Amino acid sequence: MRPWTVGYSFSVPLRPLIAFAFALMLGGCADEGPELPLDEPFIALSRDFEGFTDWHRFEVAGDAIPTGVEPGPTFVYARTLPPPGVARFPVGTILIKTIEPGDPTAWTIHAMVKRSGTFNPAGAIGWEFLELALTAERDVVILWRGEGPPSGHGYGSVGEPSDIPLVCNDCHAPAWTNDAVLTPDIRLMPE
């Protein structure tokens, strides 16, 4: 394949030139908001959540406990913790929040999965939200998934009185300084 001619005195292969220009563009935009890495998406399946109760576990207290669900001990489970020095959680990160009033089949279980750098661009950038359930055999079932819950699902309400439920992005998107993760024990430590 013949390279494109630039000017009159030399020629440059087009692909490296485009890649270099694109890298310069991304570098110049770093202060304008969250960076959106180019990556392959991670689509979580039920099997990716199996055995989550054996993952890193953090107790949740205070304001982080949502309203509108049966109360119980509340935990966040992390499959892996972010590596030191990163400004964003890696694609494939899985966090699960449970409210555990007793029988595991009655738990409220929500997850957030780092799907890609471009998923959910108007909310918690990169994150997909899911509601899960455990069967009597402890198998994980995905009830819904996406940028937020389907109509009629969510936590609590906005204002008094109101029937507008809070959805995932309402709380997670404003936490952009920790890549939308609210759990104080799971903090990014960029260099």
Cβ pair 180, 162 in contact under 8 A: no
More confident: 16 or 141: 141
pLDDT digits (tens, 9 = 90+) for 39-95: 588 999 999 999 999 999 999 876 556 556 678 899 999 999 998 899 999 999 999
Asked if residue 161 has a cis previous peptide bond (ω within 30° of 0), the answer is: yes
Instruction: Give the pTM.
Output: 0.73
pLDDT digits (tens, 9 = 90+) for 71-84: 889 999 999 999 88
More confident: 109 or 168: 109
More confident: 190 or 154: 190
Coil vs helix vs strand at 171:
helix
pLDDT of 162 > 90? The answer is no
